[in-house]
Structure 1
Amino acid sequence: MKELEECLEALLAEVKPIEKTEYVALTDACDRILGEDIVAQMMIPPYPKSAMDGYAVRAENTSGADREHPVTLQIVGELFAGDYTKIPCKGGCAVRVMTGSYVPEGYDAVIRQEDTDYGEKQVQIYREITAGTNYCCVGEDIREGEQILARGTHLRALHMGLLASLGIYEVLVCERIKCSILSTGSELMAPGTPLLPGKIYNSIAYMLRASMERQGIQVPFTEICGDDKELLKEKIQQCLKTADIVITTGGVSVGKKDLLPEVLEELGAKKIFSHANIQPGTPTIGSVLDGKAILSLSGNPFAAYANFEYYFWELAAYLTQNASLKVRRTQAVLSDPYPKVNKLRRFVRAYAEEGRVTLPTAVHASSVLSNMRDCNCFIDMEPGRELHPGDEVKIQYFK
């Protein structure tokens, strides 16, 4: 039996990052992956500006100034943010300026208004300052030709402000990844239809779809397919045409109607792994067809969800080169006993908070869905280990 890490590494080695890009409006670019380097085409700020409300001066004209010996300067103009008036710089003069306003050529500092008498025609300066005080030079923030963001950057809200400051209104980003879901099993019915005898509602697809769409992953195809080999082949091929990743649920074990292994083989899929060292979800299959990964999960809800969480996010992060899609793995201290010793590595549903992890339920059957509602992670438990309160355990948070 292979370890999960080996299986994941082998699957990633068979696929390539998605290179397709598209232009989107800046207003739609947040949380996307940047598809090109961004190089500044202008200086920021584009003009010398004041960092304070006060008076633009030549610093040398404030020499020796204090409250006992103020320096008096003549006010030769007034500028507000947005004004751009060239005012000649003369000895012994000052220009009234506001925060963000243009500082005329020749003036090299701004005395804040709190260090003056707030004069309107002439102003008394109560403090000596040096050149550059409260003065923002052209290009102080960003220089023209400077690389601002690198290709592959996960764009956040602060990046939107940075791009807007450069006048950029359209951004080249990587296309969103697409994943199609095929739920297999003649027992499945869609919610919203009357439940027939011997049938159950399809729940797993809704968990997986919600998880993916919450992270910006598109799900163009979600269908149920009965236990029919030819129909399964047709549906898988449809999935491959619509998506970058295909997920199937059910049909991976050894029952008479577990047709997925045979169907994948007949389609020509390359099996990368199956029957890894994990419970639940041991029969999970990873394969590749037409250069696209197919992740075939168990039909049991927790088995499907836990293995989806382990494999899918690492796969999606690799294909999109978006590290933020990776899951969070850490250590926590166990609060409850888990006396069952397993021959295989085991995922145990749990709830973690502030460094401690609890088991909200005593029932850990992979087919049980209801007790997952109070869980936010699973414990990644080594084979042959019995867990006691106070033990440190490895956990993986649900995405």
Structure 2
Amino acid sequence: MISIDEAFSKLDGVDFPLKETAVSLMNASHCVLSETVLSPINMPPFRQSNMDGFALSLHEALVYEIVGEVKAGDSKSIDLKPGQAVKIFTGAAIPNSAQAVIQIEKVSTKDNQLFLQETVLHETNIRPLGSQIQQNDIALEKGTFLNPAAIGFLAGLGFTSVNVYQKPTVAIITTGNELVAAGQPLAHGQVYESNGIMLQTALHNSHFNQVKMYQMSDDFENTKSTLKQAIDDNDIVVVSGGISVGDYDFVYHALQSLNVETLFYKVNQKPGKPLLVGKLNDKMIFALPGNPAASLTCFYIYVLPTLQKFSGMKTSYKTTIQKNLANDYAVDNTRDQFLKATISNDEVTILSHQDSSMLDSFALANALVYLKNGDYTMLKGDKVAVYLL
């Protein structure tokens, strides 16, 4: 059995393969750029009005002659003489003969005359050509995470597709003869299968959507064949259950028979002690405990950062923040703990029902508090390490 830090270190030592692919801009959200992108145009591509008002060909007086109007999208050219103005709207192209824009709140009009309340300086309320970015300048660097603003920025530069790191395909395998699909009659000794949909939902919420579901029985040959198929067809395999030491837990030996390299098996943590992480060529295998809360905890702590690294994201297995504890909490454990918790008003409250089989408190949690093993008491207001969910 290894420590959590040792488990993190072994995962950090894995060389995660990065595959590149071209995707439409609509499908690029939450991906990572695999190349640096240069701007094909100046942005804005013309001198642009910063607000609704009047574009002025400046002269010394505060009275101007209004000679026309320019709306956003107009391509007409108007040649202004000094002392002339055109009504203009936000985003419209400013005539080359205009030197400033005065906002509509600072003027009055009568017939075709414009009366200013104050003098206007050159370039007032004008977005210069290429003021956001100039043609052939770097728009976004390789390795940039594409959030909605980045997608909008690229769209504004005229991009319809980009090259990104391909997200991994994921297999979820649930195990256990006792499992019954929801909606079916429940016989004595059976339970409804929940880990599969739970993990699939966690993947989708984290924007990993290429997921295949598998079910295997408590039988060595079926376990082996299902694992082989899942490993052959996917980049990352997540098994829920069958990894402990019971007579019908076949996952460990099946993985050995498939020549999967075990990076580590069993971690000094609670919940999630019987966790196995393995590797076969460029494929990663995570065998999670079958207890639901333990399975989901291991997903957030170990699986999700690995998925992000496979996708080119800059992430860490130790990405925690410090929060003040809302109440005293007594620790009496020989294993490090990940405790379901909620953050509110900048304080973190450790919830009840911490058993590895219980999801009711996990359903309310938005964080996991990490506490080292030992016999001690954390006091209200003490700083604790928190994983955000």
Query: Contact between 2:269 and 2:335, CA under 8 Å: does it hold in 1?
Result: yes
Kindly tell me: are residues 111 and 279 of structure 1, through their superposed partners in 2, closer, same or farther at Cα, counting changes over 3 Å?
Answer: closer
Residues 37-66 of structure 1, C-alpha deviation per residue, up to 9 Å, x if partnerless? 22111112222232233333333x13xx4x
Query: Contact between 1:83 and 1:101, CA under 8 Å: does it hold in 2?
Result: yes
> How far did 1:262 drift?
1.3
* 1:313 aligned residue (292, 299, 304): 304
* 1:197 aligned residue (183, 188, 191): 188
Residues 299-319 of structure 1, C-alpha deviation per residue, up to 9 Å, x if partnerless? 222222222221012211211
> How far did 1:110 drift?
2.1
The answer to whether residue 28 in structure 2 is matched with residue 29 in structure 1 is yes
> How far did 1:181 drift?
1.1
Residue 43 of structure 2 is matched in structure 1 by 44
Residues 129-175 of structure 1, C-alpha deviation per residue, up to 9 Å, x if partnerless? 22111222221222111211223322222223222222223333333
Residue 295 of structure 2 is matched in structure 1 by 304
Higher CA-based Rg: 1
* 2:179 aligned residue (188, 200, 210): 188
> How far did 1:336 drift?
4.5
Kindly tell me: are residues 360 and 99 of structure 1, through their superposed partners in 2, closer, same or farther at Cα, counting changes over 3 Å?
Answer: closer
Q: Counterpart of 1:373 in 2: which secondary structure?
A: helix
* 1:266 aligned residue (246, 257, 268): 257
Residue 14 of structure 1 is matched in structure 2 by 14
Q: CA RMSD in A?
A: 2.6
Q: Greater share of strand residues, 1 or 2?
A: 2
* 1:291 aligned residue (274, 282, 298): 282
> How far did 1:270 drift?
0.6
For 1:165-180, list aligned pairs within 5 A: 165-180=156-171
Kindly tell me: are residues 207 and 261 of structure 1, through their superposed partners in 2, closer, same or farther at Cα, counting changes over 3 Å?
Answer: same
> How far did 1:235 drift?
0.7
The answer to whether residue 204 in structure 2 is matched with residue 213 in structure 1 is yes
> How far did 1:120 drift?
4.1
Kindly tell me: are residues 353 and 74 of structure 1, through their superposed partners in 2, closer, same or farther at Cα, counting changes over 3 Å?
Answer: closer
Provide the C-alpha distance between the structure 1 equivalents of 2:378 and 2:82, rounded to a whole number of angstroms: 81
* 2:240 aligned residue (240, 249, 268): 249
Residue 123 of structure 2 is matched in structure 1 by 132
> How far did 1:119 drift?
4.1
Provide the C-alpha distance between the structure 1 equivalents of 2:20 and 2:381, rounded to a whole number of angstroms: 46
Kindly tell me: are residues 92 and 168 of structure 1, through their superposed partners in 2, closer, same or farther at Cα, counting changes over 3 Å?
Answer: same
Letter in 2 for 1:81: A
Query: Contact between 2:31 and 2:311, CA under 8 Å: does it hold in 1?
Result: no
The answer to whether residue 346 in structure 2 is matched with residue 355 in structure 1 is yes
Residue 73 of structure 1 is matched in structure 2 by 64
Kindly tell me: are residues 125 and 352 of structure 1, through their superposed partners in 2, closer, same or farther at Cα, counting changes over 3 Å?
Answer: closer
Residue 56 of structure 1 is matched in structure 2 by 55
Q: What fraction of aligned residue pairs are identical, expressed as a percent?
A: 29
For 1:320-359, list aligned pairs within 5 A: 320-323=311-314, 329-339=320-330, 341-359=332-350
Query: Contact between 2:200 and 2:211, CA under 8 Å: does it hold in 1?
Result: no
> How far did 1:213 drift?
1.1
The answer to whether residue 268 in structure 2 is matched with residue 277 in structure 1 is yes
Provide the C-alpha distance between the structure 2 equivalents of 1:74 and 1:350, rounded to a whole number of angstroms: 67
Kindly tell me: are residues 366 and 105 of structure 1, through their superposed partners in 2, closer, same or farther at Cα, counting changes over 3 Å?
Answer: closer
The answer to whether residue 89 in structure 2 is matched with residue 87 in structure 1 is no
Residue 372 of structure 1 is matched in structure 2 by 362
Q: Counterpart of 1:141 in 2: which secondary structure?
A: coil
Provide the C-alpha distance between the structure 2 equivalents of 1:342 and 1:142, rounded to a whole number of angstroms: 56
Query: Contact between 1:272 and 1:288, CA under 8 Å: does it hold in 2?
Result: yes
Kindly tell me: are residues 241 and 192 of structure 1, through their superposed partners in 2, closer, same or farther at Cα, counting changes over 3 Å?
Answer: farther
- Segments of structure 1 that go 5 or more residues without pairing to the other structure are 66-70
Q: Counterpart of 1:261 in 2: which secondary structure?
A: helix
Q: Give the TM-score normalised by structure 1.
A: 0.87
Residue 394 of structure 1 is matched in structure 2 by 384
Deviates more, 1:132-141 or 1:190-199: 190-199
Q: Give the TM-score normalised by structure 2.
A: 0.89
Residue 382 of structure 1 is matched in structure 2 by 372
The answer to whether residue 96 in structure 2 is matched with residue 105 in structure 1 is yes
Query: Contact between 2:329 and 2:377, CA under 8 Å: does it hold in 1?
Result: yes
Provide the C-alpha distance between the structure 2 equivalents of 1:316 and 1:397, rounded to a whole number of angstroms: 17
> How far did 1:193 drift?
2.6
Provide the C-alpha distance between the structure 1 equivalents of 2:280 and 2:126, rounded to a whole number of angstroms: 61
Residues 166-222 of structure 1, C-alpha deviation per residue, up to 9 Å, x if partnerless? 222333333333211112223223223322333222222222111111111125322
Residue 68 of structure 1 is matched in structure 2 by none
Provide the C-alpha distance between the structure 1 equivalents of 2:269 and 2:17, rounded to a whole number of angstroms: 27
Residues 103-125 of structure 1, C-alpha deviation per residue, up to 9 Å, x if partnerless? 22222122334444324434344
Provide the C-alpha distance between the structure 2 equivalents of 1:93 and 1:339, rounded to a whole number of angstroms: 78
Deviates more, 1:32-41 or 1:267-276: 32-41
Provide the C-alpha distance between the structure 1 equivalents of 2:63 and 2:197, rounded to a whole number of angstroms: 74
Tell me the matched-pair count. Answer: 389
Residues 75-106 of structure 1, C-alpha deviation per residue, up to 9 Å, x if partnerless? 44332222222233434433333333222222
Kindly tell me: are residues 47 and 234 of structure 1, through their superposed partners in 2, closer, same or farther at Cα, counting changes over 3 Å?
Answer: same
Provide the C-alpha distance between the structure 1 equivalents of 2:227 and 2:7, rounded to a whole number of angstroms: 22
- Segments of structure 2 that go 5 or more residues without pairing to the other structure are none
Letter in 1 for 2:20: K
Query: Contact between 2:309 and 2:315, CA under 8 Å: does it hold in 1?
Result: no
Provide the C-alpha distance between the structure 2 equivalents of 1:335 and 1:136, rounded to a whole number of angstroms: 50
Q: Counterpart of 1:163 in 2: which secondary structure?
A: helix
Provide the C-alpha distance between the structure 1 equivalents of 2:105 and 2:339, rounded to a whole number of angstroms: 63
